[in-house]
Amino acid sequence: MHVDAFNQYHAGESLIHHLDARAKVVVAISFIFSNALLPDGSWVTFTLAWMFLLLANELSGLGLGFTLKRSFVALPFALVAGSAIFSPLGEPLAVWDLGFMTLIPTDAGVRRFFSVLIRSWLSVQMAILLVATTPFPDLIHALEHLRAPRVLTTIIAFLYRYLFILTDEARRLLRARESRSANLSGRKHGGTLWWRAKVTGNMVGQLFIRSYERSDRIYKAMLSRGYAGHLRTLNPHIMRRFDWLILILSLTFLLLVQFLGWIQ
C-alpha cells in the first residue's frame, strides 16, 4: 500500500489550495458553527450558506459538484433525526395510527428534521472541501498553530504516518485467515459465531503485539535520525495579507448570514 493511500488531498493550483491552512481551518469551523447557530427553517440563509460553499468549490478548481458527490456519508444518520418529525411542540399535521403506536407529525417537527439534514449536509461538504484542498500534514500544523496541544497533534501525525503500514498488517492477517478457511459450497463451514469472534479477537491481539514491537523499532530509528520530541516541517506557514483578506471577508459573510437568519 502506498504511503499516501489515505490522503484525501486533491492536488491543485487554485486560490483555495494556496490559502494558508490556518485560514481554511478557521473558515471551515466558523461555517459549521454558523450552520449550527442558524434557527430552524431559515431556508433563505441556508441557501446563502450553500452559495458560499458552491463559490468555495468553484474557486478550488475541483468543480461545482465536487463536494456534492461525496456528501452522502452522513446520510445513514438521518434515520436518527427522523424521529424529530414527531416533536410534540408544533401544530399536528396528520395522525398515523400504526396499531401499536400513534405517530403525529407536526409542522415544527418537520421543519426541524429538514433543518438538521441541511445543516449536516452543508457542514459535511465544507469538511470534505477542507481536506481535499489541504495536505494532511499542513492541516496538522495548522491545528498546532491554532493552539491544539502539541502532544495530540504529534500523536495524530504518527497515526497518519503509520496507518497504511498497519492497514497492510491487518490485511495480511485477514488474508491469512482467508487462506486457512476453506469451504465447500453446500457444506457447513466457518465454525460457530463464538469461535469466529474469538479468532478475530486473536487477530486483534496479534496486530497489537506487532504494532507495539514496530513502534519500538520506529522510535529507535527516529532517535538515531535526530528526533527531539516533535516533528519538523519545511513549510514556513506564514499568514500573508491575502490570507487575512480572505479570512476576514469569509467571516464577515458568515456574520451577515447569521444576522439575516435571526431577523427573519
Q: Over the Cα atoms of the chain, what is R_g?
A: 24
- Give the x-and-dash track for 8-27 against other proteins (CB under 8 A): x-------------------
Q: Report the amino acid identity of residue 94.
A: A
- Does 154 engage in binding with other proteins (CB under 8 A)? yes
Kindly report the backbone phi and psi dihedral angles of residue 103, in degrees, each rounded to the nearest multiple of 5, phi listed first.
Answer: -110, 130
Among 53, 157, 246, 247, binds other proteins (CB under 8 A): 157
C-alpha neighbours within 13 Å on the C-beta side of residue 235: 18
Instruction: State the nearest-atom distance from the C-beta of 12 to other proteins, in Å.
Output: 18
- Does 88 engage in binding with other proteins (CB under 8 A)? yes
Among 3, 44, 73, 176, binds other proteins (CB under 8 A): 73
- Does 245 engage in binding with other proteins (CB under 8 A)? no
Binding to other proteins (CB under 8 A) within 36-55 occurs at 36-37
The residue (of 15 and 203) whose beta carbon lies closer to other proteins is: 203
Instruction: State the nearest-atom distance from the C-beta of 241 to other proteins, in Å.
Output: 27
Among 81, 104, 239, 251, binds other proteins (CB under 8 A): 81
Contact (CB, 8 A) for 205 and 173: no
Contact (CB, 8 A) for 158 and 136: no
- Look at the block and give the residue holding cell 486473536: 202
The residue (of 157 and 247) whose beta carbon lies closer to other proteins is: 157
Whole-angstrom distance, CA of residue 244 vs CA of residue 242: 5
- Does 205 engage in binding with other proteins (CB under 8 A)? yes
Whole-angstrom distance, CA of residue 157 vs CA of residue 159: 5
Q: Which stretch binds other proteins (CB under 8 A): 47-55, 57-65, 198-206, 242-250?
A: 198-206
Number of residues written out for the chain: 264
Instruction: State the nearest-atom distance from the C-beta of 160 to other proteins, in Å.
Output: 7
Whole-angstrom distance, CA of residue 158 vs CA of residue 169: 16
Q: Which stretch binds other proteins (CB under 8 A): 12-20, 50-58, 77-85, 232-240?
A: 77-85
- Which of 216, 213, 203, 147 minimizes the C-alpha distance to 177? 203
Residue 48 CB neighbour total at 10 angstroms: 18
Q: Which stretch binds other proteins (CB under 8 A): 47-55, 56-64, 203-211, 238-246?
A: 203-211
- Give the x-and-dash track for 90-129 against other proteins (CB under 8 A): ----------------------x---xxxxxxxxx--xx-
Q: Which helix (H) or strand (E) holds 133?
A: helix 107-133
